[in-house]
Amino acid sequence: MVADLEPARTVALHARPDGMAIGPLGSDAAGIAEAAAAATLPGHVDHGIWLGVDRVEYWRQLLHGEGPCGRVLAEPSRLVRAPGGAIAAAAVVTAMPATDWWQGDPWIPEIFVVAGFQGRGVGGLLLEHALGACAHSGSQRVGLTVSDGNPARRLYERFGFRAFRSTWFIARSLWE
Ligand SMILES: CC(C)(COP(=O)(O)OP(=O)(O)OC[C@H]1O[C@@H](n2cnc3c(N)ncnc32)[C@H](O)[C@@H]1OP(=O)(O)O)[C@@H](O)C(=O)NCCC(=O)NCCS
C-alpha cells in the first residue's frame, strides 16, 4: 500500500496510550524480535510466515540496513516502551531502494504492537509520527506491505494508504 504525504491532513486517532514512552528505535535486535513475536500470536494472519525464521537475525539485518528494504531512517522509526520499560511496539521506516515499481521513497517494513497493548492507539501514534517525519524531510509518499485479511489494513486506510500492487500465492494439485 502507498500513502501520498499531505502534511495538512488530519487523522482521528484512537485514545492516546497512557504511560508509554516513545523514543529512538535503537539496535536491540533480540529484544525487538521477542516483542515482535508477541504481536502476531497464533490466529493472526501473519503468524505462519515467521515459523522457521530466525527472528533475531532478521531484525539484526533490518536494523543494520542489510536487508532488501535499505537503511533505517532514524527520525521516523520509533520504539515504544510500556511503563516498566518492556518493549511494547516499534515502527521501522527505511530508505527503500528504487525498483521498477517503487521510486525510492520511504518504506515501513515493520510495524507492530505487542498483543496486550493493541487497540489502544499505539500503532496509530507510530504511523502518525512516521508519516509526519517523512513529510517533514520532504518525502512524497510512504509504502508498506500488508497481508490479505490483516485488520491492520483498516488502520492504514484511515491514514490515507491505498493498494497499488498485489502479490499472489498460487498452487495447483498434482493429481488433477
Ligand atoms: C496493526 C497494529 C500495528 C496496529 O496497532 P494498534 O495499536 O493495535 O492500532 P490502534 O489502536 O492505533 O488502531 C486500531 C486500529 O488498528 C487496526 N487493528 C489491526 N489489528 C488490530 C488489533 N489486533 N487490535 C486492534 N486494532 C487492530 C484496526 O483498524 C483498528 O481500528 P478499528 O478497530 O477501528 O478498525 C497492531 O495491531 C499489530 O501489531 N498487529 C499485529 C502485527 C501486524 O499485523 N502488523 C502489521 C503488519 S503489515
Residue at 166 is within a domain: no
pLDDT of res. 6: 79
**Ligand 1 centroid distance, CA of 115 (Å):** 9
The answer to whether 115 and 68 are in contact (CB under 8 A) is no
3-state secondary structure of 56: helix
Chain position carrying cell 516502551: 81
Q: Is 119 in the pocket of ligand 1 (CB under 6 A)?
A: yes
CATH number reported for the structural domain that contains residue 102 in this entry: 3.40.630.30
HSE-CB for 82 with a 13 A CA cutoff: 13
- Quote the ligand 1 centre to 151 CA distance (angstroms): 6
Q: How many domains does the chain divide into?
A: 1
Asked if the structure places residue 169 within a domain, the reply is: no
Residue 134 lies in a domain: yes
Q: Is residue 57 one of the residues assigned to a domain?
A: yes
Q: Of all atoms in ligand 1, which is nearest to the CA of residue 153?
A: 29
Cell, residue 142: 510512504
pLDDT at residue 15 in the model: 58
Domain annotation covers residue 56: yes
The answer to whether residue 174 sits within a structural domain is no
| Pairing mode of beta strands 2-4, 141-143 | antiparallel
* Among the listed residues 136, 135, 144, the one whose alpha carbon sits nearest the alpha carbon of residue 112: 144
Hey, whose CA ends up nearest to atom 26 of ligand 1? 119
Alpha helix locations (H) across 12-121?
29-37, 55-63
And the C-alpha cell for 54? Answer: 530466525
Q: What is the pLDDT of residue 104?
A: 95
pLDDT at 176: 79
Residues in the chain predicted with pLDDT less than 50, given as ranges, are none
Does any domain span residue 168? no
Percentage of the chain modeled with pLDDT above 90: 89
Give the Cα-Cα-Cα angle 165, 9, 2 (nearest 5 degrees). 10
Residue 89 CA: nearest ligand 1 atom is: 39
What's the confidence (pLDDT) of residue 17?
76
In the prediction, which pLDDT does 149 show?
Answer: 94
Is residue 110 within 8 A of residue 94, CB to CB? The reply is no
Task: Ligand 1 pocket test: pick from 87, 118, 146 the residue with the most ligand atoms within 8 Å of its Cβ.
Answer: 118
Range of the domain at 34: 2-8+20-158
